[in-house]
Amino acid sequence: MKNENEHEREHNFSFKGITGSPIQRVVYKTTLALGIIAAVGLASMMLVSIYDITARFFFKNPLYGVYELVGMILVLTSTFGMALCQKDKSHITINLITDLFPPKLKTFSEAFGLLMSFICFGIITWRMFIDTIEFFERGMGGLSSDLGINWGYASGVFVVGSFLFSVVLLLQFVQTVRRMWRR
């Protein structure tokens, strides 16, 4: 059970409360900054949707390209928010089975899960990086149908967010392995 100070430290949303090695501080500060951008993106997605619904219902004049715009903003909010959720460990976990494990096995399973997640997201990030380059090389072939926005921008945002997520996974894997070896 966490005491009040640990719980407070865990949800400190200021840059001053970030501690750790210089690499961890840079990664976690970047994670927090992108998390703030994700929150702004989520709010803008909501406002655009409200405007579109209102304009459609009252004036029979929906906002053109709203689905593409909201979809691109969704990519930003989800990928930029993933790293922050992982850093804070605020994602949903089901520990039904792992809670029954002895401490060493629990730590090992956590390390294994982090390593597998890092490998998978590393592959996804690399593939999306290649796709992003192809979107920009294609020019007109990579444009969205309604707004004419190059899909490379959404793909590039995904690459940045998932790369940062992968780095957070790697840092947590290293911390977990260190914890394993100390025991």
Identify the pLDDT of residue 141.
61
pLDDT for res 33:
92
pTM of the model: 0.80
Tell whether the model's pLDDT for residue 7 goes beyond 50.
no
Average pLDDT, the chain: 85
How far apart are the C-alpha atoms of 40 and 45, rounded to whole Å?
9
d(CA 24, CA 151): 31
User: pLDDT band at 4, cuts 50/70/90?
Assistant: very low
Query: Residue 70's closest CA among 43, 31, 32?
Result: 43
Indicate the pLDDT class of residue 111, thresholds 50, 70 and 90: very high
Structure confidence at residue 5 (pLDDT): 46
* Rounded Cα–Cα distance for residues 14 and 62 (Å): 39
Q: How far apart are CA 167 and CA 165, in angstroms?
A: 5
**pLDDT value of position 18:** 59
Ranges 15-24, 47-56, 126-135: which has the least confidence: 15-24
The predicted pLDDT at position 128 comes to: 93
When pLDDT is averaged across residues 85-93 and rounded to a whole number, the result is 83
User: In DSSP terms, which residues pair with 143 in a beta bridge?
Assistant: 150
pLDDT at 20: 73
The secondary structure of residue 17, as a DSSP letter, is G
Q: What percentage of residues in the chain have a pLDDT greater than 90?
A: 45
Supply the pLDDT for residue 16: 54
pLDDT at position 183, please? Answer: 67
